[in-house]
Amino acid sequence: MDYARILRRLLLFAALFAGVLYAFILVLDPYQNVPFSPDLPRAPIATNQRFSYPAVARDPRFDGLIMGTSTSLLLDPARLGELTGARFANLAMNSATAYEQRRIHELFVRHHPGMRYLVLGVDEAWCKLDDAPARYTFRRFPEWMFDNNPWNDLGYLFNDKALEDAVRMLELLLGAREPKYRRDGYSDFTADFAPRRPAAVLRRLYGAADPEVVPATAVMPVHGPPEWRFGALPELPLMLRAMPDDVRVVLIFPPFHARQIAAHAARLAACKGRVLERTASISGLSVLDYMFVSPLTRADDNYWDPLHFTRVVAERIEGDIALVLDGGKPAGTGVRMVR
């Protein structure tokens, strides 16, 4: 038996099979980054936002950007666009580090010289006491998708995950699957939750303790102890200065639940103070502060857990943002316009 001939045929078959799989991935183009893939009605399909969002960041239709972590995910770019006349994308990512936020921001700015608006949620990603904050989470972050060269992406696409996402894209094109995110990056992640059960929400908010009325805590911006180092904050002014001078910026300190705020009041107040100091020279910047104990943050019905509010709260914040961008000032006990 000619084993060498059999081995050659097996190797040839394996190479052909691998070529077919690779061609399938390149044609379906699940991350929308293959320069020569056919024009198909694609949508973000990868479950990891870090793989889905670079294509959204390159999309020329947008002139406004919403960024942050999961505490900004519920801000609906379509509704905010209706209120402002702009075309927003929401590229907030679960647990996004300051570095990851800067990278998606850089990509968006690079592809949108006519950018008009930036809305940025400033929360724990920026407010951790950490001299050397981590660049990444446990989620994969594809640095190769965030540079100027789409051709170098091709070498990273021959793998089982890209194949899986190519199959998902095929299912989407055939009408057998819904996109993971809208074409503007938005997804109401609370729609995937089980029906709201107040008792379960209270357990997440208070643990084993009985629900309580959290005493008023102003959490006004202060500098805080000089030895406290918020290692991510140097990224913030660098990121904001990387945009055209006429971009309007709205920073948001999001409304954590009152119990969460009270438990970390000193650190959060110091972080807010440092943010205001570091952004003092940024023109066209407004700051909306919801991160204090108020009727809004005390209302358990407004929350899913200590950090994540409901759509009702998101709609209020969207209205406040639109008012600020129109030159107004939000009113009410739950928000302070500190700049």
Residue 248 is predicted with a pLDDT of: 97
Residue 318 is predicted with a pLDDT of: 98
d(C-alpha 146, C-alpha 58), whole Å: 10
Q: How many residues in the chain? A: 339
Q: What angle do CA 118, 32, 134 make, to 5 degrees?
A: 55
Residues 249-278, mean pLDDT to the nearest whole number: 95
Break the chain into its structural domains and give their ranges: 52-139+182-337
| Predicted TM-score (pTM) of this structure | 0.92
The one-letter amino acid at 231: G
Residues 220-225, mean pLDDT to the nearest whole number: 86
Residue 196 is predicted with a pLDDT of: 78
Instruction: Give the three-class secondary structure for 250.
Output: strand
Residue 15 is predicted with a pLDDT of: 83
pLDDT at residue 310 greater than cutoff 80: yes
Report yes or no: 130 and 232 within 8 Å, Cβ to Cβ.
yes
For the segment 153-203, what is each residue's pLDDT rounded down to a tens digit? Answer: 999 999 999 999 999 999 999 999 999 999 999 999 888 777 778 888 888
Residue 332 is predicted with a pLDDT of: 85
d(C-alpha 109, C-alpha 329), whole Å: 27
d(C-alpha 293, C-alpha 49), whole Å: 32
Contacts of 278 (CB under 8 A, 6+ apart): 233, 234, 236, 237
The share of the chain scoring above pLDDT 70, in percent, equals 99
The two three-digit tokens of residue 151, written as one number? 């051709």
pLDDT at residue 289 greater than cutoff 80: yes
Residue 17 is predicted with a pLDDT of: 87
Cα distances from 17 to residues 10, 13, 26, 36, 249, in angstroms, run 10, 6, 14, 21, 51
For the segment 73-105, what is each residue's pLDDT rounded down to a tens digit? Answer: 999 999 999 999 999 999 999 999 999 999 999
Residue 334 is predicted with a pLDDT of: 93
pLDDT at residue 213 greater than cutoff 80: no
Residue 2 is predicted with a pLDDT of: 76
Q: Higher model confidence: residue 13 or residue 258? A: 258
Q: What is the mean pLDDT of the chain?
A: 93
Residues 12-21, mean pLDDT to the nearest whole number: 87
Residues 7-11, mean pLDDT to the nearest whole number: 81
- Report whether CATH 3.40.50.800 matches the domain 52-139+182-337: no
For the segment 22-59, what is each residue's pLDDT rounded down to a tens digit? Answer: 999 999 999 999 999 999 999 999 999 999 999 999 99
Residue 1 is predicted with a pLDDT of: 66
The two three-digit tokens of residue 213, written as one number? 């009325």
Residues 267-277, mean pLDDT to the nearest whole number: 95
Residues 328-335, mean pLDDT to the nearest whole number: 91
pLDDT at residue 312 greater than cutoff 70: yes
